[in-house]
Structures are given as structure tokens and as C-alpha cells.
């Protein structure tokens, strides 16, 4: 790859890794639903401005409703689940759990979308889940029900990503597909519409005890504008430059950044469980994402 593409990839991994840091700052103050709502609504506003400056025509080709539904699955639900996890989990934990997205994609593809399951891919899935188990059980955070619920929220979020990927391919890749910039915008709009009534109910039933100070709102702007809106545009530029396979390797780079930002800015403790669990997940991702070779099909 060209040096500029390597720098883009490292920048994207650092930005997405920072999203877990920002959520860890915001969610304990505002709550999970307000955090998720502000994230997607600020991102939607930012994308409207960015696409206007880029003079992108809003031509969804009759797929606007489909994109809104995908937005709920790919953005609204994961944003909420990761915000729930941020109430109890360190940023580094959530970042490492996020790396299981391709593993969930393998399981979902085999179970629901007639994708081939090979021994290599299934080995990767089990190895990745073992890495999650090591991090959860042996990490520096006390092993209790809150930790388990936070881990479950992260895994449900990656499950949503897995379903969204296959549904997007089925619903959007027909008849020439859809401009990915419009897919990003529609996704944020769908997530915002989904979370709007939930946000209203949360304000009525359990309003935040505090709306926070400057650090919370600066973190919200960073989460919505930089980690979501700008990151989408940067990712699409990377897809155009180096293709989807190489771009997917950014998944490997997000956990180290997530752990690093949490340790630097939130004094989150580190342990060898981060290394062991993270390495197992990295090897699992390699098994799942490596180029296909003749392998025994099991499903």
C-alpha cells in the first residue's frame, strides 16, 4: 500500500478506537439512551453538511426506506448497546469485544444466509470466543454480573453488525448498489428516528441527574462528528483506494488504540489478560479473514 493509505488506515483505527473512550466518558453521566441518540443525531447532522459541501445528490434510487431500516440494525441498536456497555466496561474492553464483528459475521452467514462454514473459519470463531472469555474472566475488572452484562451488550452489538452486512448486500447491492456516502447518511437518519422516541421516554422516566460539563459535550462532538461522520467518509475513501479486503484489516488495529486511549486518558488498568485475549482474537480474525483455500466444509 502507499504511505498515504497506511496513514489513513492508522488514523481510522485511532479514531474508531477513540469512540470507546468518548462513550466511557459520556454514558455514566448522561445515560445510555441519550449517549446513543446524541451520537447518531450529531453524526447525521455532520454528514448532511459534509455531503452538501461535496455536492452529493440525494438520489437513493427508491431504497430510502430500506436504508433507514438498515440504519436501525447497523447504527441505532449497536450505538445503544455499546453505550450500555460503557456504563460498566473500560474502553479497552469494549474495543477488544468490537473486534469479534467478523467472527459473528461467520456464524450469522452460516446459520441464516447459506454461507459456507469451513473448519478454518469455525476454528477462528471458537478461538475468538476463547479470547473474549479470557479477557472477561482474567482481566483487571472484577468478574461479576455487571461485567457479564457489558460483555453481552458488546457481543449483541457485533451481532447486529453481522446481520446488517448481509442484509445490506442483499437489499442494496442490486441494480448497481447505492453510493456508500448516501448509505452512511441514511443509516444515521434511520438510527436517529429510531432513537428519538426512546430518548423522549428516557427524559420523562429517568432524566440525567446532570447534563455534564464541557468535557462531556466536547466528547459528544468528537464521538458524533469525528468518530462517526468523518470516520465514515475516511473509510469510504480507503475502500476506493485499496479495496474492501485490505480495508477490513483496520479491525485488527482498533483494539490496541482503544486500550491505549483508555489507559492514557482514563487511567484504566492493564493486565496480561489484555495481551492474551487480544492475541487470541487477532489470530481468530486472521483465520476468518484470510484468503479462501480448499477446506473441509461443515455446513
- Residue predicted with more confidence, 125 or 15: 15
How many domains are there within the chain? Answer: 1
| In contact, 158 and 97? CB cutoff 8 Å | yes
Is position 260 within any domain?
A: yes
User: Among positive and negative, which fits the CA dihedral 211, 216, 222, 228?
Assistant: negative
Q: At what angle do helices 77-86 and 3-30 cross, to 10 degrees?
A: 70
Is position 178 within any domain?
A: yes
Q: How confident is the model at residue 220 (pLDDT cuts 50, 70, 90)?
A: very high
Give CA–CA dist 37/31, Å, rounded: 10
Range of the domain at 21: 3-289
Range with top average pLDDT, 37-46, 110-119, 176-185, 232-241? 37-46
| In contact, 240 and 255? CB cutoff 8 Å | no
Query: Average per-residue pLDDT in the chain?
Result: 85
Give CA–CA dist 299/1, Å, rounded: 35
Is position 296 within any domain?
A: no
Kindly state the percentage of the chain with pLDDT values over 90: 39
- Residue predicted with more confidence, 64 or 138: 64
Q: Which of 45-59, 138-152, 172-186 has the lowest mean pLDDT?
A: 172-186
Lookup: cell for 76: 441505532
Answer whether residue 10 shows pLDDT above 60.
Answer: yes
* Cβ neighbours around 263 below 10 Å, total: 16
Is position 85 within any domain?
A: yes
**Predicted pLDDT at 293:** 60
**Predicted pLDDT at 249:** 66
Q: Which of 24-33, 177-186, 218-227, 257-266 has the lowest mean pLDDT?
A: 177-186
Give CA–CA dist 167/54, Å, rounded: 28
Q: How confident is the model at residue 113 (pLDDT cuts 50, 70, 90)?
A: confident
**Predicted pLDDT at 264:** 93
Is position 297 within any domain?
A: no
**Predicted pLDDT at 294:** 54
Is position 298 within any domain?
A: no
Is position 277 within any domain?
A: yes
Residues 221-273 pLDDT 10s: 999 999 998 887 888 777 667 765 566 667 777 888 898 899 999 998 888 88
**Predicted pLDDT at 244:** 55
| In contact, 299 and 259? CB cutoff 8 Å | no
Amino acid at each position: 500500500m502507499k504511505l498515504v493509505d497506511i496513514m489513513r488506515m492508522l488514523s481510522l483505527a485511532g479514531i474508531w478506537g477513540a469512540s470507546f473512550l468518548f462513550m466511557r466518558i459520556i454514558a455514566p453521566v448522561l445515560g445510555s439512551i441519550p449517549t446513543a441518540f446524541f451520537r447518531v443525531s450529531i453524526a447525521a447532522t455532520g454528514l448532511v453538511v459534509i455531503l452538501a459541501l461535496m455536492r452529493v445528490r440525494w438520489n437513493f434510487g427508491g431504497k430510502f426506506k430500506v436504508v433507514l431500516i438498515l440504519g436501525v440494525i447497523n447504527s441505532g441498536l449497536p450505538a445503544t448497546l455499546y453505550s450500555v456497555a460503557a456504563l460498566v466496561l473500560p474502553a479497552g474492553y469494549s474495543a477488544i469485544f468490537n473486534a469479534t464483528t467478523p467472527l459473528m459475521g461467520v456464524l450469522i452467514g452460516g446459520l441464516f444466509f447459506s454461507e459456507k462454514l469451513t473448519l478454518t473459519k469455525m476454528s477462528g470463531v471458537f478461538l475468538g470466543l476463547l479470547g473474549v472469555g479470557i479477557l472477561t474472566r482474567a482481566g483487571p475488572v472484577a468478574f461479576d454480573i455487571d461485567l457479564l452484562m457489558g460483555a453481552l451488550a458488546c457481543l449483541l452489538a457485533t451481532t447486529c453488525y453481522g446481520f446488517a452486512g448481509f442484509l445490506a448486500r442483499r437489499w442494496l447491492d442490486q441494480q448497481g448498489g447505492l453510493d456508500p456516502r448516501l448509505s452512511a447518511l441514511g443509516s444515521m437518519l434511520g438510527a436517529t428516528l429510531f432513537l428519538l422516541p426512546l430518548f423522549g421516554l428516557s427524559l420523562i422516566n429517568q432524566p440525567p441527574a446532570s447534563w455534564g460539563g464541557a468535557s462531556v459535550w466536547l466528547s459528544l462532538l468528537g464521538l458524533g462528528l469525528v468518530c462517526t461522520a468523518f470516520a465514515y467518509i475516511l473509510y469510504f475513501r480507503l475502500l476506493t483506494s485499496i479495496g474492501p479486503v485490505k480495508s477490513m484489516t483496520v479491525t485488527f488495529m482498533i483494539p490496541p488504540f482503544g486500550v491505549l486511549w483508555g489507559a492514557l486518558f482514563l487511567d484504566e488498568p492493564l493486565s496480561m489478560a489484555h495481551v492474551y485475549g487480544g492475541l487470541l482474537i487477532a489470530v481468530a480474525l486472521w483465520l476468518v479473514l484470510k484468503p479462501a483455500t480448499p477446506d473441509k466444509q461443515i455446513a
